[in-house]
Structure 1
Amino acid sequence: MNPGWQAVAAAFQFLTRFPVKAELDYTPELFRRSTRHYPLAGAAIGAVVWCVAAAALYLLPPLPAAVLTLVLWVALTGGLHLDGWMDTADGLLSYRPREQMLEIMKDSRVGAMGVMACVLLLLLKAALVYSLLTEGWPPLMLLLPPVWSRWFMVHAMASWPMARGNKGLAGSNFNGMEKRHSAAALPGAILLTAAAAGLFPLLGVGEWTYGQAGLAWVALPLAAWAGGTWAARRMARKLGGLTGDTYGALNEGIETLLLLVLVIIQYRL
């Protein structure tokens, strides 16, 4: 397998539970190269989520369709990012000194704050997906939150220091990420967004107008960058940098933020 396909396979094996059959030698260099394909892995997740949402909505009322869609969404990632969301909540909401926060986040056990944060996040996500399905056919923009949330993870790796240096999974494999890695992932995210825009006239988007869809194409990347930057700065200030858990938390938070933006566009604009 050539290096390009190895990087694609590594991105899918690491971020998803798609059955990618490839024997890879996971080196830090391969991990860093694979990040340029994170938006593509997000697009694959988004495409499956959209298809399942459409099928579920054909068979079921919007609420159970939304819950089943979210169950699949979590299953496609193996709960990887939810684990980071819970660990980050346990650490940051402990209000302890920096070193103790990092120790709490490293603990494999989930505390009360992590459980509450997970339950509230899933409730909000289910409610937002439900809102997007109540107008009938799922909006095509449902493909995009997983794309831009994963692009921002790459941007965060390249923009903020590692809180634990070269220790831990993130530190040992992604330490040394540079702006060029973030820049390499950006064209893919933009092209995938453009491809989704090109499918708009073919697949239809329920009650969405072209004006709403056009606004979503612009608003989602901007919201991902703005919301992610605000959250990453606050976490880095408290922890002295970012960790693998915080990357997962950023992904979950940005996905939820972008679903919220879509609901606001659908109902208020």
Structure 2
Amino acid sequence: MAVRFLKNQMQAAGAAFQLITRIPIPVMIPFVPQVLARSVIYYPVVGTIVGGFAAAAGWLLFGHLPAMPSAVIVLMLWAALSGALHLDGLMDTADGVLSHRSRDRMLEIMKDSRVGAMGVIVAVILLLFKFSLLASLLEGESWLGAALQIIAACGWSRLWLVWAMIIWPFARTGEGMASMFAEVRVRHAIAATLLQVVLIFGVGLAFGSSWSSIMSLMLIQAGVTLVIGGIISHWLYRKLGGLTGDTYGALNELIESALLFATLCELMWLN
């Protein structure tokens, strides 16, 4: 029984990495609803790994290259780790919801593999925003002051996707990648949330942070995630009648950017 449970969890974790990253997991995993439902528990782990790579890259570059080229390299790595999957979702979402057409037409536009003007404009603005934030953080006294927050932010943005799957319906019932997560339940979201908390405390203590500072960071980032994620998710629901795989990618990008901005604001306030 324990062996089967462990196998199922390892399979679920592998599915999470195969689906939303380009980190190679050389194992054949069936993308069936049951496996995908379990896989969402490990989205915070995926976020922690992605954020960890980005933070490590910034640490290696800090003090050796100027802030602006360092920020470009970190941003390139950050996008490459997910195969720009979330960015692609952002562009498709922007093309659809900013077309101000009917609901069915917006969903049709989002299914089109071609990228329109609004998608390009939104993606460029978001990348410039992220670049400016990273460059500002790399100009500070120590990149390590932001590293923990960046790692945690990548976990929160992906955790929100799990809750969004439960709270808001799918826009395309029975079709699309999002519908394959129809078996995600509240218990999966709770497990993912608990895992995110454990990861934040684990990484924070490894960085030498105090329990109180870790708790403060967690509450601030959780609040930002809840407010930004809730507002954008509800707006998309009002526009589309539900969420899609593309909107999940858009939510991830926008929440990550909001948390990165909150990190910069916090560090500026403390200094």
**How would you bin the TM-score normalised by the shorter chain?**
over 0.9
Where does residue 193 of structure 2 map in the other structure?
186
Q: Which amino acid aligns with 2:247?
A: T
Per the TM alignment, residue 32 of structure 1 is displaced from its structure 2 partner at its CA by 0.9
8 A contact 2:205–2:211 mirrored in 1: no
Greater shift in the superposed pair: 89-98 or 13-22? 13-22
8 A contact 1:81–1:245 mirrored in 2: yes
Identity %: 41
Q: Which amino acid aligns with 2:42?
A: H
Greater shift in the superposed pair: 80-89 or 49-58? 49-58
Candidates 113, 120, 132, aligned match of 2:118: 113
Partner of 2:62, secondary structure, is helix
1:16 equivalent to 2:24? Answer no
Q: Which amino acid aligns with 1:143?
A: I
| 1:57-206 pair list within 5 angstroms | 57-138=62-143, 139=146, 140-171=148-179, 173-201=180-208
Runs of 4+ in 1 over 3 A off after TM superposition: 209-215
Greater shift in the superposed pair: 114-123 or 181-190? 181-190
Candidates 35, 60, 63, aligned match of 1:55: 60
Partner of 1:177, secondary structure, is coil
Per the TM alignment, residue 166 of structure 1 is displaced from its structure 2 partner at its CA by 1.4
Separation in structure 1 between the aligned mates of residue 213 and residue 127 of structure 2, nearest angstrom: 26
TM-score (norm 2): 0.92
Where does residue 205 of structure 1 map in the other structure?
none
Per the TM alignment, residue 212 of structure 1 is displaced from its structure 2 partner at its CA by 7.0
Partner of 2:207, secondary structure, is helix
Where does residue 248 of structure 2 map in the other structure?
247
Partner of 2:75, secondary structure, is helix
How many residue pairs match? The answer is 262
8 A contact 1:165–1:175 mirrored in 2: no
Could you list the runs of 5+ residues in structure 2 that have no partner in the other structure?
1-5
TM-score (norm 1): 0.93
Separation in structure 2 between the aligned mates of residue 135 and residue 198 of structure 1, nearest angstrom: 22
Per the TM alignment, residue 196 of structure 1 is displaced from its structure 2 partner at its CA by 2.3
Could you list the runs of 5+ residues in structure 1 that have no partner in the other structure?
203-208
1:45 equivalent to 2:46? Answer no
Q: What is the root-mean-square deviation in Å for CA atoms of aligned residues?
A: 1.7
Where does residue 32 of structure 1 map in the other structure?
37
Separation in structure 2 between the aligned mates of residue 214 and residue 176 of structure 1, nearest angstrom: 32
Distance 1:116 1:212, change over 3 A: farther
Per the TM alignment, residue 144 of structure 1 is displaced from its structure 2 partner at its CA by 1.2
8 A contact 1:70–1:126 mirrored in 2: yes
8 A contact 1:102–1:239 mirrored in 2: yes
- 1:93-113 per-residue CA deviation (whole Å, 9 max, x = no partner) reads 001111111000010000000
Per the TM alignment, residue 7 of structure 1 is displaced from its structure 2 partner at its CA by 0.4
